Amino acid sequence: MNIESQDLYTQIILSMAALVGLTSFLMLGQGRLLRLIFVFAIQGLLLTLTTAVAAYSLDNHHLYISAVLTLALKVIFIPWMLRNEVLKSNLHRDVEALGNQTAIMLGGASLMVFSYYVLHPIVQTTSPVMLNALAVSLSVVLLGMLLMISHKQAIAHVVGFMSIENGLFFAAIVATKGMPMVVELGIAFDVLVAAVLFGIFFFHIRSSIDSLDVDLMNKLNEVDK
């Protein structure tokens, strides 16, 4: 596949896929919470742009609504809420020590390879472009999980959670030109409610363990103490 031989829309989509994947890796190695949130907002912005480009080139009006929803939720509201949370908890000066950085990054890279491997069968029915787009989306989902595993702060977990959501959204836009409107509105509603609930939870966790380090939440397990 030669990228220059593709039409402009496909070229843009592929570049966006690469950039979205890159932001996921940037988040993975980020120990400072404010920068993590900033990169997350950039990922949201890339999604908004992708949606807008898709809406324009496919002349699909409901995708514009999706683009506006993404902009409002993922670029403005959630990063703003998380940033407030960081400042309130006085975590903005802390740098989280991330176990073994090299291992985490290598793990991230192997997850990306794994995504290509899992989705390879569909190449029989579709163009390699679609494979790229779907595989990058899946790896963004998996990298979001790895982010949650490697970070200890509850705020980083929420960023991971929301970036999983970003990966799914990207898949929906590029592979299927957006889900039906009713589904997309439903998903946006769920994300909004989830974001609000996370805000409530930060408050509860702080008042319960006086910190947002989820490693301190270890009362419930099956191991005898």
The identity of residue 25, as a single letter, is F
DSSP string, 10-23: HHHHHHHHHHHHHH
Q: Please say which residue, 5 or 124, places its beta carbon nearer to another protein.
A: 124
Distances (CA, A) of 25 to 5, 22, 48, 108, 124: 28, 5, 19, 7, 29
Give least dist CB 4 to another protein, A: 26
At 95, phi and psi to the nearest 5? -110, 120
Give least dist CB 179 to another protein, A: 6
At 170, phi and psi to the nearest 5? -60, -45
> CA 214 to CA 4: how far, in whole Å?
47
Given a contact cutoff of 8 angstroms between Cβ atoms, the answer to whether 101 and 95 are in contact is: no
DSSP percent split of the chain into helix, strand, coil, nearest 5: 80, 0, 20
Q: Please say which residue, 95 or 180, places its beta carbon nearer to another protein.
A: 180
Q: Please say which residue, 94 or 190, places its beta carbon nearer to another protein.
A: 190
Give least dist CB 206 to another protein, A: 10
Q: Please say which residue, 93 or 121, places its beta carbon nearer to another protein.
A: 121
Torsion of CA 120, 123, 126, 130, to 10 degrees: 40
Q: Please say which residue, 5 or 207, places its beta carbon nearer to another protein.
A: 207
Given a contact cutoff of 8 angstroms between Cβ atoms, the answer to whether 91 and 155 are in contact is: yes
Give least dist CB 1 to another protein, A: 19
Give least dist CB 113 to another protein, A: 16
Q: Please say which residue, 45 or 145, places its beta carbon nearer to another protein.
A: 145
| Joined tokens for residue 19 | 């950039």
Give least dist CB 26 to another protein, A: 20
User: Which SS3 state, helix, strand or coil, does residue 95 take?
Assistant: strand
- Residues in contact with another protein by CB under 8 A are 118-119, 121-122, 124-125, 134, 137-138, 141, 144-145, 148, 154, 157, 161, 164-165, 168, 171-172, 175-177, 179-183, 186-187, 189-190, 193-194, 197-198, 200-201, 204-205, 208-209, 214, 217-220, 222
